[in-house]
Amino acid sequence: MARLIVTRLLTLIPLMFVITSIVFFMVRFVPGDPARIMVGGQRISEQNLANIRKAYRLDQPLVTQYRLWLGDILSGNLGRSYRQRTEVSTLILERLPLTAKLAGFSFLLSLLIAVPLGIVAAVHRNTWVDVAATMFAVLVASSPVFFTGILLLLLFSFRLGWLPALGAGEGGWDQVRHLLLPSLTLGLSLAAITTRITRSSMVEALTQDYIETARAKGLPTRTVIMKHAFRNALVPIITVSGLLFGFLIVGTVLVEQTFGLGGLGSLLIDAVQMRDYPVVQGATVFIAGIFILINLVVDILYGIIDPRVRYGGQG
């Protein structure tokens, strides 16, 4: 297991280098002069603009800017926001708790919906239950996240008045109520995919010889399904769930905009619109780092569930 973790960590180094390179040079292709945006449209002389560019190293060649930025990243410095005059790491940490709660609630809701539904569909395959579960998965997976969010807003906020429509709440139970609709929006989108994976994995597991052996021994149906079939179907479920949890951080961008939340996604969108390079770069690298770490956790879970992974697939 230790060798597996070290190997995965070593592969992260070139991956993060590629990500930082792409992020840095792509944001430089976005039209607009950050120096002029910093002054907010006020009249300013070209000399003062030149001084601003020099202060933020915008007058340097791109390669030099990239080298200096890499040095800052390696030292733990994500830079300073052009617009807010605040450290990027501070801005990220201020917005992160809300985004983390939204992602966590969404992931939990998706599992609570998808895993039982996928198991039931597999156990009752080719029946109306299976057809209904499949139709649900296809319908929700085909709907854009923002469209699902608008439908939920119209139903639960404007029609029934059960839940608040916008904002993040004031903390405690009020914040939970405000996060329910955004979390359900994301959770349904994830559940659609996880349901299909759970169903297909369970169907395959239930057709194996060891399941017939377990049934022949007279084991209860619940034990056969949950202890034997579901445990062996977990690897693909964990694979997809881990990847989807990583994408959740990205998916929160649209949902935060739809529901008026001020999380990490909103910070990133605002920074792109304002050409705030340090915030765009810092937030993107931070999100990429989270995604990579989640995949590392998934690899470790592989080794726990399937010992063959620890030994390179050897029996």
Q: How far is the C-alpha of 123 from the C-alpha of 158, rounded, in Å? A: 38
Q: How far is the C-alpha of 71 from the C-alpha of 94, rounded, in Å? A: 24
Residue 12 · residue 292 · CB < 8 Å:
yes
One-letter amino acid of 268:
L
Helix (H) or strand (E) holding 255: helix 234-259
Q: Is residue 165 part of a domain?
A: yes
Report pLDDT digits (tens) over 235-262: 778 777 777 776 676 677 778 777 777 7
Identify the three-state secondary structure at position 87: strand
The domain in which residue 223 lies consists of 91-309
Q: Is residue 186 part of a domain?
A: yes
Q: Is residue 296 part of a domain?
A: yes
> Which band of pLDDT confidence, cut at 50, 70 and 90, is reported for residue 313?
very low
Q: Is residue 24 part of a domain?
A: no
> In the structure encoding, which two tokens stand for residue 218, read together?
């007279």
Q: Is residue 168 part of a domain?
A: yes
Q: Is residue 119 part of a domain?
A: yes
Q: How far is the C-alpha of 158 from the C-alpha of 179, rounded, in Å? A: 16
Structurally, how many domains does the chain consist of? 1
Count of helices and strands (H, E) across the chain: 14, 0
Q: Is residue 54 part of a domain?
A: no
CATH of the domain at 292: 1.10.3720.10
Q: Is residue 49 part of a domain?
A: no
Q: Give the closest residue to 124 by CA, choosing from 231, 203, 197, 220.
A: 203
Report pLDDT digits (tens) over 147-200: 777 888 888 878 877 777 776 667 677 777 888 888 888 888 888 888 888 888
Return the pLDDT at 4.
63
pTM above 0.95, yes or no: no
How far is the CA of 127 from the CAs of 131, 196, 202, in angstroms?
Answer: 6, 15, 15
Lowest-confidence range among 74-78, 132-136, 197-201, 295-299? 295-299
> In the structure encoding, which two tokens stand for residue 276, read together?
């705030």
Residue 168 · residue 157 · CB < 8 Å:
no
Report pLDDT digits (tens) over 51-65: 878 877 777 888 888
